[in-house]
A and B are shown apart, each in its own frame.
Chain A
Amino acid sequence: MAIYVLRKLVFFLGAIFIASVAIFLLIRGAGGNVAAVVLGKGATPEAINALAHSYGLDRPLFVQYFDWIGNMLSGDLGRSFRTNERVSDLVTARLSVSIPLALSGLILGLIIAIPVGTYAARNVGTPSGAILALISQVGVAVPVFWAGILLSLLFGVRLGWLPTGGWTDWSVSPWGAVRSLVLPVLSLGLIMAAVLIRYVRSAVLDVMNQDYLRTARAVGMTRTEALLKVGLRNASLPLVTIVGLQIAELIGGTVIIETVFSLPGLSRMMLANVAAREVIVVQSTVMLIIIFVIGVNLLVDLLYGILDPRVRSSR
């Protein structure tokens, strides 16, 4: 197990290093003269040089890279060019919106997908199974932002039950915050569910064809009993992997849903800074997101190693 963990950790660090180089080169390489963009068209060359100098943008790229990484390691994510706000402040202020949104969306997706996917697997070939397959096939084709628009049309505009967008902060009114999150979470969760149902269905189908399930049936368990007691445990392995893989999808969905419902979350902050070409803010925020995703995948791998002894020895 120790070697397995060590190998995964090395991969984790290597992945973060490579990703950081890629992000840095992409943003700095293609970004043009950052200082000129920030100051706009009327800026004098002296002003541009002065700004570039004050942010250290005139130094060699690799010096800038190690400076950036070194600062990140010590917790300094840099500052915005225009407002001089700290990136870490910008990010943490938005997490109280983005994290509840993404997390509840994922949980809702799983709550729908696990029972429905299991049901679909048990009913392969029956009309209800076929209808479920069709529904999830259509659900996969629905863009998450369209689901959001339709839900806000129905529950916000027509029925007037929930806000169509905007945000009431937790400190102002926790109930208001929950109300502003209901439709975004619903949109995200439903679309996640459509994708997850197909994975759950095929994971359960795989398990249903295994010998141990036949054995469980042979010793007298009912089909449901065997599935719950023996099958679920085995199907949980691929499920853990899927959740890990879906994290990247989830972040993409959150980016869009925050825009649909004008929530002041992390991705809206990113979008605004992309438009303003705030390279440091974008660069550091992207890096944080990537570290998060790679970190979740590391956890998934480790969990897998704990759940299944075979994984530890084979890899």
Chain B
Amino acid sequence: MMTMSKSTHAPAPASGSAGPGVPISPPARKSRRRLPRNASLILGLILTTIFLTVALVSFFYLPSNPNIPVIRNRLLPAGTPGHWLGTDVLGRDIIAQLMVGARTSILVGAGGATLSLILGTIAGLAAAASGKITDEAISRGADILLSIPGMVTALVLAATMGSGALTTILALTAFFTPSFTRVIRSAAMGVLNEDFITAAKLYGRGKIFVLARHVLPNIAGVMIVQFTLYFAAGILTEAGLSYLGVGVHRPSISWGLMLNEAQQQVGVSSPLAIWPGLAIVLMVLGLNLLGDGLRDVLDPKLARRAS
């Protein structure tokens, strides 16, 4: 299945139209077919598991309180026993802050992705299964919402509701639901055209039953893949909002918030600006790789389209 999904685009340049000036060696082709896709799934899984574990551990164990300033410990360098990545300008341990940051990223990212998955699935299924007018209304509505920049939605929500983790989750939901709706709608449309759906209908099954029993299981792959990718996008967006000061704030800790605080001390201690950024990149990279890898396993059709 994996080789199939990758081979749709790949052979063309190699067998069909490879010019004399562009030799493509067989070993390279072989490694492309096998390695990268498996590798992205495995690497993604490893990175994601590490961060999930760190977030879980942070509930039971932290090296020290990440919010209480200890002035005699200020700006310890990395490698100090007890503070292996050093401390910030108020003497708070970096590792402890990163651990709580992982928790925040995952809760907010997953929260936003889950809510928009639920709403997007309901709207997408409704659009796919009902008449032309409902479909048109939902699809056009999603188009309109998509044209509102997510950052702007988040700012408006922060202006009206005050900032915080919950506002951030709602902003992500408002941001992601329209695109979820579109993806689910088109996936469901594909399933609804299959013969076994016609058979189920002829058998006398109702619309809701068909959707729940036949359509949902068949688009579960798409849903999982999209969830993973929006999880990653949610973490990036949350970091940005917290950096701007309209997302999560203390006593909650977010990697974006840490970068905001670190930037004010960039002249003093640049490593402070490195660790939270690195954490964001690795976590988002992990989820994106996982999503791409899962897509090949669960949803070869989509993988082919997205190359």
In the complex, which residue of chain B has the Cβ closest to the Cβ of A226? Answer: B17
Q: Which of A15, A146, A206 has the most chain B CB atoms closer than 10 A to its own CB? A: A146
Chain A interface residue count, CB cutoff 8 Å, equals 70
Query: Which residues in chain B, 15-35, are within 8 Å of chain A measured between CB atoms?
Result: 16-19, 21-22, 24, 28-29, 31-33
Q: Is the CB of A252 within 8 A of B266?
A: no
Query: Which residues in chain A, 237-282, are within 8 Å of chain B measured between CB atoms?
Result: 248-249, 251-252, 255-256, 259-260, 267, 270-271, 273-275, 277, 279, 282
Q: Is the CB of A140 within 8 A of B288?
A: yes
Interface of A is mostly: helix
Q: Is the CB of B273 within 8 A of A255?
A: no
**Interface range on chain B: under 10, 10 to 19, 20 to 34, or 35 or more?**
35 or more
Separation of A153 and B256 alpha carbons in the complex (Å) = 17
Report A-chain residues with C-beta under 8 Å of the C-beta of B284.
Answer: 140-141
- Contact of B9 (CB < 8 Å), options: A18, A209, A271: A209
In the complex, which residue of chain A has the Cβ closest to the Cβ of B159? Answer: A274
Q: Is the CB of A130 within 8 A of B32?
A: yes
Q: A153-B273, A214-B16, A252-B150 are in contact. Are A146 and B259 (CB under 8 A)?
A: yes
Query: Which residues in chain A, 161-210, are within 8 Å of chain B measured between CB atoms?
Result: 164, 201-202, 205-206, 208-209
Separation of A104 and B239 alpha carbons in the complex (Å) = 24
Q: Is the CB of B155 within 8 A of A122?
A: no
Q: Is the CB of A31 within 8 A of B288?
A: no
Asked if B198 is an interface residue, CB under 8 A from chain A, the answer is no
Asked if B270 is an interface residue, CB under 8 A from chain A, the answer is yes
Report A-chain residues with C-beta under 8 Å of the C-beta of B236.
Answer: 141, 143
In the complex, which residue of chain B has the Cβ closest to the Cβ of A147? Answer: B277
Q: Is the CB of A145 within 8 A of B240?
A: yes
User: Nearest chain B CB to A294's CB is how many angstroms away?
Assistant: 5
Asked if A118 is an interface residue, CB under 8 A from chain B, the answer is no
Q: A201-B307, A289-B149, A289-B152 are in contact. Are A122 and B232 (CB under 8 A)?
A: no
Asked if A51 is an interface residue, CB under 8 A from chain B, the answer is no
Asked if A53 is an interface residue, CB under 8 A from chain B, the answer is no
Q: A143-B277, A152-B266 are in contact. Are A248 and B29 (CB under 8 A)?
A: no
Asked if B13 is an interface residue, CB under 8 A from chain A, the answer is yes
Q: Which of A141, A142, A213 has the most chain B CB atoms closer than 10 A to its own CB? A: A141
The 6 closest A-B pairs by CB, nearest first: A252-B151, A125-B32, A223-B19, A146-B277, A30-B160, A141-B284
Given contacts A15-B140, A146-B281, 20 further A-B contacts (CB under 8 A): A31-B159, A122-B13, A127-B28, A133-B36, A138-B281, A140-B284, A142-B277, A143-B281, A145-B243, A149-B262, A208-B12, A223-B19, A223-B22, A255-B155, A259-B243, A260-B263, A271-B246, A293-B148, A294-B147, A297-B147
**B-binding residues in A (CB < 8 A):** 11, 14-15, 18-19, 23, 26-27, 29-32, 122, 124-127, 130, 133, 137-138, 140-146, 149-150, 152-153, 157, 164, 201-202, 205-206, 208-209, 213-214, 217, 222-224, 226, 248-249, 251-252, 255-256, 259-260, 267, 270-271, 273-275, 277, 279, 282, 286, 289-290, 293-294, 297
